[in-house]
A and B are shown apart, each in its own frame.
Chain A
Amino acid sequence: MAQDIAHVNAAESLDDLVATAYGELRAIAHARLAWRGAGGTLSTTALVHEAYLKLAGQSPSKWRDRGHFFAVASLAMRHVLVDFAKARETLKRGGTRRRITLDDDAIAVDDQADALLQLDEALARLAASEPRLAKVVELRFFGGLGEDEIAESLGVTVRTVRRDWVKARVMLRHVLES
Chain B
Amino acid sequence: MTPGPDPTDRWSQLSSLLDTLLETPLEQRAQVIGQLSHGDPARRAELERLLAEIDREAPLIDAPAAERFGALFDDPTAAGFPEVLAERYRLSREIGRGGMATVYLARDLRHGRDVAVKVVSPMLASALGGDRFLREIEIVANLRHPHIVPLFDSGSAGGSPYYVMPFETGLSLRQRLARDGPLPIDDAVTVLRDVSDALAHAHEHGIVHRDIKPDNVMLSGRHAMVTDFGVAKAIVAGSTEARLAPTDPNASVEARAEADTAPTTTQGVAFGTPAYMAPEQIVGDPQIDHRADIYAVGTLAYELLAGRPPFVGATRDDVLAGHLSRAPAPVTTRRADVPASLAALVMACLAKDPSDRPQTANELVERLERIAGRGRTERAPLERRARWLTATAVLTLIAAAAFLIERQRAAGPNASWSARWALARVERLTDFPGTEVDASISADGQRVAFLADRDSVFDAYVTRVGSEQFTNLTSGKYPQLLNEDVRNVGFSGDGASTWIRVADIAAPASVWLAPSDGGSFRPFLRTAVMAAWSPDGSKLAYHETTPGDPIYVADRDGANPRRIYVAEGGIHSHHLSWSPDGRSVFFTHGVPPNDMDIWRIPVAGGQAERVTRHNSRVGYPVPLDDRTLLYTATASNGTGPWLYSLDLGTGTTQRVITGVEHYISIAASAEVAGQPRRLVATVSNPTVGLWSAPIVTGVAGEDSARRLALPTARSAAPRFARDGTLLYLAARGGADAVWRLAGDRATEVWKAPDGAIDGAVAVSPDASQLCASVRRPERSTLYCVSTTGTGTRPVAQSLDVRGAPSWSPDGQWIAVAARDGPAVHVFKLPVNGGQPVRLVDSVSANPVWSPNGKLIVYSGASRARIVPLKAVTPDGQPYPIPEISVDRLGDSYRFLPSGDKLVVKLGGFRRQDFWSVDLRSGQRRRLTALKPGESLQRFDVSPDGKQILFERVRENSDIALIVLPPR
CB interface residues, B 63-85, toward A, < 8 Å: 64-74, 76, 79
**A129 near B257 (CB under 8 angstroms)?**
no
Q: Please give, as numbers and ranges, the residues of chain A lying within 8 Å of B70 by CB-CB distance.
A: 41-42, 112
A29 touches B60 (CB 8 A): no
In the complex, per-residue mask of B884-904: 1 if CB is within 8 Å of any chain A CB, else 0: 000000000000000000000
Nearest Cβ on chain A to B550's Cβ, whole angstroms? 60
Set of chain A residues within 8 Å of B64, measured between Cβ atoms: 43-45, 140-144
**Chain B residues with Cβ under 8 A from A178's Cβ?**
3, 7
Q: Which residues of chain B have a CB within 8 Å of any CB of chain A?
A: 1, 3, 7-8, 11-12, 14-15, 18-19, 22, 50, 53-54, 56, 58-61, 64-74, 76, 79, 94, 96-103, 118, 121, 123-124, 215, 253-254, 256-258, 260-262, 273, 315, 743, 745
Q: How far is the CB of B417 from chain A (nearest CB, A)?
A: 55
A130 touches B253 (CB 8 A): no
User: Which listed residue, B99, B103, B254, B256, touches A36 by the CB 8 Å rule?
Assistant: B99
- Bound-state CA distance A40–B98 (Å) is 6
Do the beta carbons of A31 and B65 come within 8 Å of each other? no
Ordered by A's residue number, 24 sampled pairs between the chains whose C-beta atoms are within 8 Å are A30-B257, A34-B99, A37-B100, A38-B97, A38-B102, A39-B98, A44-B64, A44-B66, A45-B64, A47-B66, A88-B76, A102-B56, A102-B58, A109-B97, A112-B71, A113-B69, A116-B65, A142-B64, A166-B54, A167-B18, A167-B19, A169-B58, A170-B53, A173-B53
A46, B73: Cβ atoms closer than 8 Å: no
Q: Does A156 contact B (CB under 8 A)?
A: no
Q: How far is the CB of A31 from chain B (nearest CB, A)?
A: 4
- Give the residues in chain A near B99, CB-CB below 8 Å: 30, 32-37, 40
Residues of A within 8 A of B98 (CB): 33, 36-40
List chain A residues, Cβ under 8 A from B100: 34-38
A164 — nearest CB in chain B belongs to which residue? B22
> Would you list which residues of chain A between 134 and 161 have a CB under 8 Å from chain B?
137, 140-144
Please, which residue of chain B has its CB at the minimum distance from the CB of A176? B60
Complex CA distance for A84 and B96, rounded to whole angstroms: 19
Q: How far is the CA of A108 from the CA of B76 in the complex (A)?
A: 15
Distance A119 CA – B541 CA, assembled complex (angstroms): 77
Cross-interface CB contact of A87 among B12, B76, B96, cutoff 8 Å: B76
Nearest CB of chain B from residue A11's CB, rounded to whole Å:
27
Contact assessment for B22 and A166 in the assembled complex, using a CB-CB cutoff below 8 Å: yes
Would you call A77 an interface residue if the criterion is a C-beta within 8 Å of the partner chain's C-beta atoms?
Answer: yes
CA–CA, A141 and B65, complex, Å: 5
Contact with B along A37-75 (1 / 0, CB 8 A): 111111111110000000000000000000000000000
> Contact between A130 and B72 (Cβ–Cβ < 8 Å)?
no
Most A CB contacts (10 A, CB to CB) among B7, B18, B67 go to B18
Interface size class, chain A:
35 or more
For residue A19, CB closer than 8 A to chain B, the reply is no
Q: Nearest chain-B residue to A32 (Cβ)? A: B261
B56 A171 Cβ-Cβ under 8 A: no
Query: Which chain A residues lie closer than 8 Å to B124 at the CB level?
Result: 34
Q: Chain B nearest CB: distance from A20 CB in Å?
A: 16
Q: How far is the CA of A144 from the CA of B262 in the complex (A)?
A: 24
Closest to B7 in A: A178
Q: In the complex the two chains form, is A31's CB within 8 Å of B256's CB? A: yes
How far apart are A163's CB and chain B's nearest CB, in angstroms? 6
User: When A44-B64, A81-B66 are in contact, do A103 and B72 touch as well, CB less than 8 Å?
Assistant: no
Asked whether any CB of chain B lies closer than 8 Å to the CB of A17, the reply is no
- Secondary structure of the A side of the interface? helix
**Which secondary structure dominates chain B's binding surface?**
helix
Is A104 interfacial (CB-CB < 8 Å)?
yes
Assess the A102–B60 pair: CB atoms within 8 A.
yes
Please name all residues of chain A whose beta carbon is closer than 8 Å to the beta carbon of B71 when the two chains form the complex: 109, 112
A85 CB–B CB distance under 8 Å: yes
Does chain B have a CB within 8 A of A6? no
Q: Which residue of A lies closest to B23 (CB)?
A: A163
Given A35-B261, A38-B98, are A174 and B66 neighbors across the interface (CB < 8 Å)?
no
Kindly provide the distance from the CB of A90 to the nearest chain B CB, expressed in whole angstroms.
9
Chain A positions within 8 Å of B61 at CB level: 102, 119, 137, 140-141, 169, 172
Q: A46-B315, A77-B66, A81-B69 are in contact. List 13 more A-B contacts (CB 8 A).
A: A31-B260, A32-B261, A36-B98, A38-B101, A91-B79, A104-B60, A107-B68, A112-B70, A116-B65, A129-B8, A143-B64, A169-B56, A172-B58
Q: A34-B123, A116-B65 are in contact. Are A103 and B60 (CB under 8 A)?
A: yes
A27 to B12, CA, bound (A): 41
Distance A148 CA – B12 CA, assembled complex (angstroms): 28
Tell me the bound Cα distance from A102 to B68 in angstroms: 12
Q: Is A8 an interface residue (CB 8 A)?
A: no
Bound Cα distance from A143 to B1, whole angstroms:
30
Chain A residue with minimal CB distance to B260? A31
* Chain B residue nearest in CB terms to A100: B60
- Given the known inter-chain contacts A27-B256, A109-B94, please indicate yes or no for A103 contacting B69, CB distance below 8 A: no
The reply on A14 being an interface residue by CB < 8 A is: no
Query: Which residues of A are found within 8 Å of B258, using beta-carbon distances?
Result: 31
Bound-state CA distance A163–B21 (Å) is 11
Task: From B14, B68, B260, give the contact of A27 (CB < 8 A).
Answer: B260
CB proximity of B596 to chain A, nearest CB, Å: 45
Contact for B215 among A37, A41, A137, A163, CB less than 8 A = A37
Most chain B CB atoms below 10 A, which of A34, A46, A107:
A34
Do residues B60 and A170 form an inter-chain contact, with CB atoms below 8 A?
no
List B contacts of A141 (CB < 8 A): 61, 64-65
Check A16 for interface membership: any CB of B closer than 8 A. Answer: no
Distance from B451 Cβ to chain A, minimum over Cβ atoms (Å): 45
Take A38-B100, A40-B99 as given contacts and tell me if A107 and B15 are in contact as well, using a CB distance cutoff of 8 Å.
Answer: no
Query: If the complex has contacts A116-B69, A142-B64, A144-B66, are A34 and B254 also in contact, measured as CB distance less than 8 A?
Result: yes
The answer for the CA separation of A47 and B8 in the assembled complex, in Å, is 37
CB pair B257–A31 under 8 Å, yes or no, is: yes
Contact B69 A129 (CB under 8 A): no
- Give the distance to chain B from A160, nearest Cβ to Cβ, in Å: 11
**Within the complex, what minimum Cβ distance (angstroms) separates B50 from chain A?**
7
Q: Across the interface, which residues of B come within 8 angstroms of A172, CB to CB?
A: 58, 61
Whether A171 contacts B94 by the Cβ 8 Å rule is: no
Q: How long is the Cα–Cα vector from A137 to B69 in the complex, in angstroms? A: 15
Q: How far is the CB of A87 from chain B (nearest CB, A)?
A: 7
A107 CA / B744 CA spacing, docked (Å)? 12
Give the chain B neighbours of A119 by CB distance below 8 A.
60-61
- Asked if A106 is an interface residue, CB under 8 A from chain B, the answer is yes
CB pair B96 A29 closer than 8 Å: no
Q: In the assembled complex, how far is the CB of residue A133 from the closest CB belonging to chain B, in whole angstroms?
A: 8
Whole-angstrom distance between the alpha carbons of A114 and B69 in the complex?
10
By CB atoms of chain B within 10 A, which of A30, A33, A41, A81 has the most? A33
Question: Are B69 and A35 in contact (CB-based, < 8 A)?
Answer: no
